[in-house]
Amino acid sequence: MTGDDELLEDTAEDLFENAPCGYLSTLPDGTIVKVNRTFETWTGLRREDLLGAKRFQDLLSPGGRIYHETHYAPLLRMQGSVREIAVEIVRADGTRLPALVNSVLRSDEQGHPQLVRTTVFDATDRRGYEQELLRARRQEQDIAQQLSRSLLSGSLPAAPGFEVEVVYRPAVSGLEVGGDWYDAFWLDDDTVGLVVGDVVGRGIGAAATMGQLRSAVRALALTGLDPGRLLDTLDAYTERHDVGLMTTLISAQLGLGSRRLRYACAGHPPPVILSPGEEPRFAWEGRSAPLGVRLDGPRGEAALTLEAGSTVLLYTDGLIERRSESLTDGLDRLLREVAGHRDETVARLAPAVVRALHDPQHVDDVCVLAARVA
Amino acid sequence: MTAIQRNNVVEHGSPDARPMLFAHGFGCDQNMWRFVWPPFAEDHRVVLFDHVGAGGSDASAFDRDRYSSLQGYADDVLEICRELDLTDVVFVGHSVSSMIGVLAAAAEPERFGALVLVGPSPRYIDDTGYTGGFTREDIEGLLESMDSNYLGWSSAMAPVIMGNEDRPELGAELTNSFCRADPEIARHFARVTFLSDNRADLAGVRTPSLVLQCSQDAIAPEAVGEYVDRQLHDSRLVHLEATGHCPNLSAPQETIAAIRAFIAA
């Protein structure tokens, strides 16, 4: 036999012992009955100490052992196989081998489990990289959440006969912050600016854009611009600096003495008006396209005089959108919920409406601002 | 939303017979009972359900505050009992659901006729004079294990795992399709489960109880099963020959026989 032939002459035993993966056979309870040389080399554990004496789960880190008992073993029994489970095997010297493990369960003709075959892949580099990714993702979430929180901090205007409440609820999946924002601030001694907006996108970028637009709206509002002209100027800002295209928002000004509400709505869901003794309704006037969409003329705005004790509710689309449901249904439901809580203070009404309508499986933030004038 | 919808309640057997309520533990869903419940359906009203966040439950019902302790899960059990108008219930709880049953039976003893506690542990972390079997670091290790095993499917697969009742074939394509759970909720449930201490609640139970203890149970060691048996007023401890933490899967016949003997007595 020549040297070449010898190389090709892999015996089954050699294939098993020196396979490029660890190989274990265990009884259904985990007791190890067979192990290959690769596994011994990787772990420093010796077959004479393992066979008949240790169970596979005994070789795992304590946390991994819980995972094995609560996930791995049940899955294996129910599916007959498990794939790509990440575990850490404790080596003879106490260090840990990050591994990816596949198992198949062999059963007899009656379906009674007889034997488990497990392959073990060294995943040291992969696990290190995954942990870096996980760390990076957590970090970005933290930064974005802090950014969003700090941008939305600050006290709300307070005055006799004026109530305002905001509820801001990030999407429950919690992977990234969204770009919803609210604002309420004094324009002069008697007039309050009210804003709710929604920036496209998620994460740090959306939070930063939201911060820029929020400041821009505040600054423009203080120059005395009407809501419609304010949006026109914001359009120019958006285009000039390429910030916040397709953002939707409502810009409103509420005179507390006159109860005069002026508002303009850029592609945003309409405000709800709740007047005493009437059914709540949407204010569908004063509408135009989202920011950055080129228009033929100036943006529209509308005004109305509220009756004493009326409530204005501004919100973002996360409140009314639900999976597998039309927007109309969402809007109808909003009116019903507002009607159902009409006799409560806005401090109770706003959270109650969010609780009733918010679909936590919907991956969008929810922001609600409710204001009432006596 | 009713508890029946929220917890994906599934019933088998005779509606007029004595109810048996099966509660799954951490890490899985009502599939855990698939080898155990069928023979009981012959002479019982079998009720299965998923805890919120697991299996076919409505994950949108998850509320961090409500489920910040096992009491929230026990309240769900009681709501299911109320909606189905169950009395003289044989509650069969695996792992952490043993303690959930303990809390439910302590709160509304009139509903429960018997408790079957499979691998119970009232506290997993060692304490002065008490061996739970784990340290706090071990539990952090578990959370890391969960993280590394959800990494691949947390965002890419979440839409597939959650919802999509209308496209079940998507679920079948998952690597490990049984016992799926919302990763964020599963993490939360792991913390609540393994960091809880319900030792003081055991004495509040008057319902006749059966403790089923496996050998070589890495989650609930024998000393813990014996502790539970000692603390309960009216309890019987049965050592199973089965090893591990899931006799409902690894030794269903032995588990069935032990439960039968207990509820027949």
At B56-92, the pLDDT tens digits run 888 878 888 899 999 999 999 999 999 999 999 999 9
Query: Are B178 and A173 an interchain contact pair (Cβ–Cβ within 8 Å)?
Result: no
Query: Are B176 and A64 an interchain contact pair (Cβ–Cβ within 8 Å)?
Result: no
Do A292 and A188 lie in a common domain?
yes
Measured in residues, chain B has a length of 265
Tell me whether residue A139 is in a domain.
no
Question: What is the per-residue pLDDT for A44?
Answer: 97
- Domain final position from A63, A92, A125: A125
Distance from C-alpha of A264 to C-alpha of A300, rounded to nearest angstrom: 7
State pTM to two decimals: 0.72
Contacts of B138 in chain A (CB under 8 A): 62-63, 66
Do A44 and A172 lie in a common domain?
no
Do A84 and A158 lie in a common domain?
no
| pLDDT, tens digit (0-9, with 9 covering 90-100), for A149-194 | 777 778 899 999 999 999 888 764 555 677 899 999 999 999 999 9
Do A180 and A323 lie in a common domain?
yes
Do A176 and A237 lie in a common domain?
yes
Biggest distance spanned by C-alpha atoms of chain B:
52
Tell me whether residue A299 is in a domain.
yes
pLDDT at B167 over 70: no
Domain that holds residue A323: 148-373
B44, B76, B95, B235: the catalytic one is: B95
Minimal Cβ distance to A66: which of B32, B142, B184 = B142
Residue B95 falls in the annotated catalytic set: yes
Question: What is the per-residue pLDDT for B129?
Answer: 93
Minimal Cβ distance to A61: which of B141, B178, B219 = B141
Q: Do the strands B112-118 and B89-94 form a parallel or antiparallel pair, or are they unpaired?
A: parallel
Question: According to DSSP H, which parts of chain B are helical?
Answer: 3-6, 37-40, 70-84, 96-107, 136-150, 158-161, 168-172, 183-194, 222-231, 247-250, 252-264
Do A225 and A353 lie in a common domain?
yes
Minimal Cβ distance to B27: which of A30, A74, A323 = A74
Do A152 and A121 lie in a common domain?
no
Confidence of residue B178 (pLDDT cuts 50, 70, 90): low
Question: What is the per-residue pLDDT for A325?
Answer: 74
Do A25 and A78 lie in a common domain?
yes
Do A177 and A311 lie in a common domain?
yes
Do A152 and A296 lie in a common domain?
yes
Q: What is the mean pLDDT of residues A325-354?
A: 91
Do A93 and A224 lie in a common domain?
no
Do A157 and A22 lie in a common domain?
no
Q: Which of residues 228-247 of B touch A (CB under 8 A)?
A: 243-246
pLDDT at A24 over 80: yes
pLDDT at B205 over 90: yes
Question: What is the per-residue pLDDT for B144?
Answer: 84
Please name the residue of chain B whose CA is at the shortest distance from the CA of residue A82. B176
Mean pLDDT of chain A: 90
Tell me whether residue A320 is in a domain.
yes
**B142 CB near a chain A CB, below 8 Å?**
yes
B29, B201, B217, B229: the catalytic one is: B217
Tell me whether residue A143 is in a domain.
no
Distance from C-alpha of B26 to C-alpha of B222, rounded to nearest angstrom: 19
Query: Are B141 and A359 an interchain contact pair (Cβ–Cβ within 8 Å)?
Result: no
Question: What is the per-residue pLDDT for A176?
Answer: 64
Confidence of residue B159 (pLDDT cuts 50, 70, 90): very low
pLDDT at A289 over 90: yes
Query: Are A85 and B149 an interchain contact pair (Cβ–Cβ within 8 Å)?
Result: yes
Residue of B98, B145, B214, B245 to mutate, testing the A interface (most A Cβ within 10 Å of its Cβ):
B145
Tell me whether residue A96 is in a domain.
yes
**Identity at B75, one-letter amino acid code:** D
**What CATH number is attached to the domain comprising A161?**
3.60.40.10
Task: Judge if ipTM > 0.90.
Answer: no
Tell me whether residue A136 is in a domain.
no
Question: What is the per-residue pLDDT for B35?
Answer: 92
Question: What is the per-residue pLDDT for B177?
Answer: 55
Query: Are B138 and A87 an interchain contact pair (Cβ–Cβ within 8 Å)?
Result: no
**B145 CB near a chain A CB, below 8 Å?**
yes
Query: Are A62 and B135 an interchain contact pair (Cβ–Cβ within 8 Å)?
Result: yes
Please name the residue of chain A whose CA is at the shortest distance from the CA of residue B146. A67
Question: For chain A, what is the domain count?
Answer: 2
Q: What is the mean pLDDT of residues A192-219?
A: 91
Please name the residue of chain B whose CA is at the shortest distance from the CA of residue A30. B244
**What CATH number is attached to the domain comprising A49?**
3.30.450.20
Tell me whether residue A317 is in a domain.
yes
Confidence of residue A204 (pLDDT cuts 50, 70, 90): confident
Least confident of A39-48, A157-166, B228-237: A157-166
Q: C-alpha A163: how far from its chain's center?
A: 31
Question: What is the per-residue pLDDT for A236?
Answer: 93
pLDDT at A302 over 50: yes
Which of A262-276, A281-295, A324-338, B161-175 reaches the highest mean pLDDT? Answer: A262-276
Q: In the block, which residue shows the tokens 């996360």?
A: A318
Tell me whether residue A190 is in a domain.
yes
Query: Are B152 and A84 an interchain contact pair (Cβ–Cβ within 8 Å)?
Result: yes
User: Could you tell me which residue, A358 or A346, shows the higher pLDDT?
Assistant: A346
